Amino acid sequence: MLDGEASPFEADVLEGLSRPQKALAPKYFYDEAGSALFEAICRTPEYYPTRVETALLVKVAADLAPDIGSGAALVEFGSGASEKTRLILDAAPSFRLYVPIDISVEALAAAAARIAAAYPNLRVAPIAADFTRPLRQAILTGAPTVMGFFPGSTIGNFTPAEAQRFLTAAHALLGPCASFLIGVDLVKDLDVLRAAYNDAAGVTAAFNLNVLARMNRELCGDFRLDRFAHRAIWNPGLSRIEMHLESLEAQTATVAGHPFHFRRGETLHTENSHKFTAASFTALAVSAGWRVKAHWTSDVQPFAAFLLQPAAAVDAQR
């Protein structure tokens, strides 16, 4: 980036706040404070996905382990604290290379160091990058088997078009013989869903509001956090929880030297969290050149793990 050129964050903020429905991509939640708040959300009693997926992955990892050949590489998208990775690595010690990819430089470095210390036979090669943009990695060239890993239902934070682009790009990165294990949250009881994004302790509210604090810190913003409220609502037509920040009064906030007016009740749309059915996720995967090889579903709160294979690889086996 040249001096005087806007960072991607600044450019996206200025563009997003200029739309009729103000919006900001959820990837901007994850600065150091936001990553810590997300870890705290995962410990709230209402936020079931982490606990449910963790229990499910113990079973999935045991089922997959016999098929993980020696020297295999594990590539994790949006690795965060790399906690769920351990479930895979513990069950399948034949992985030799772990490539965590995350946008949060601090969280990535700390997690990579912890994994390297805990698994001395594993080469850990972290990549600090925005995994929503296409990546090419020479490091994967020598690995006989590559498994992608994208837990947490982060795929639900993409729009359907973004999810399709991401899955297509992952296909190109992981190669023609890869498999791809993805955690996917499923449609369920609406009270359970709403509570998960409106926890009583207000951790999700703090996580949402932190994006205003981040604009204040990094883009010389003057948002007053006490003049905005966290809102998380279910959108039945689009099968998603939407998070917004609602302006509690008419006000103007300045960011990076640009003023933005908010009407009372107007919202900044900060996140979508799509909830799938087995059929809707399968259709998405197929549209991006993958086939579902297997899938597992939790019987507590419906949550699924899908194992994908490139469609071309399946066709070649026929």
Stretch that binds ligand AVI, among 61-69, 125-133, 153-161, 276-284 (CB under 6 A): 153-161
What are the Cα distances from residue 76, in Å, to 112, 164, 189, 214? 11, 18, 30, 26
Distance CA 106, CA 101 (A): 12
Give min distance, CB of 273 to ligand AVI, in A.
Answer: 3
Q: Assess contact for 180 and 308: CB atoms under 8 A.
A: yes
Which ranges in 239-310 belong to alpha helices (H)?
Answer: 278-287
Quick one: which of 35, 153, 210, 247 contacts ligand AVI (CB under 6 A)?
A: 153
CB count in 10 Å sphere of residue 5: 8
Q: Which of 271, 276, 290, 305 binds ligand AVI (CB under 6 A)?
A: 271
Judged by CB under 6 A, does residue 156 bind ligand AVI? yes
Which of 132, 179, 204, 309 contacts ligand AVI by CB under 6 A? 204
8 Å CB contact between 100 and 111: yes
Query: Does 154 sit near ligand AVI (CB under 6 A)?
Result: yes
Distances (CA, A) of 293 to 223, 245, 306, 308, 310: 48, 40, 8, 5, 9
Residues 6+ apart with CB under 8 A from 50: 42, 43, 152
Nearest residue to ligand AVI, scored by beta-carbon proximity: 273
Least distance CB 23 / ligand AVI (angstroms): 15
* Smallest gap from residue 232 Cβ to ligand AVI (A): 7
Please work out the total of residues on this chain that contact ligand AVI, with binding judged by CB under 6 A: 11
- Asked if 157 interacts with ligand AVI (CB under 6 A), we say yes
* Min CB(1)–ligand AVI separation in Å: 27
CB of 148 or CB of 152, closer to ligand AVI: 152
Site string for ligand AVI, 18-47 (x = CB under 6 A): -----------------------x------
DSSP 17-50: TTSSS-B--GGGG-SHHHHHHHHHHHTSSS-HHH
Among residues 310, 277, 316, the alpha carbon closest in space to that of 167 is found at 310
Q: Which stretch binds ligand AVI (CB under 6 A): 147-155, 172-180, 246-254, 279-287?
A: 147-155
Judged by CB under 6 A, the residue of 9, 77, 197, 303 near ligand AVI is 197
CA distances from 176 to 4, 46, 69, 201, 263 (A): 41, 39, 16, 45, 50
Q: Which is nearer to ligand AVI, 50 or 309 (CB)?
A: 50
Q: Which of 267, 273, 298, 309 touches ligand AVI (CB under 6 A)?
A: 273
For residues 197 and 228, which CB has a smaller minimum distance to ligand AVI in the complex?
Answer: 197
Contact 133, 170 (CB under 8 A): no
Q: What is the rounded distance in angstroms from the CA atom of residue 74 to the CA atom of residue 90?
A: 13
Nearer to ligand AVI, 31 or 271 (CB): 271
Residue 152 in contact with ligand AVI, rule: CB under 6 A = yes
Least distance from ligand AVI to the Cβ atom of residue 41, Å: 5
List contacts with ligand AVI (CB under 6 A).
41, 49, 152-154, 156-157, 197, 204, 271, 273
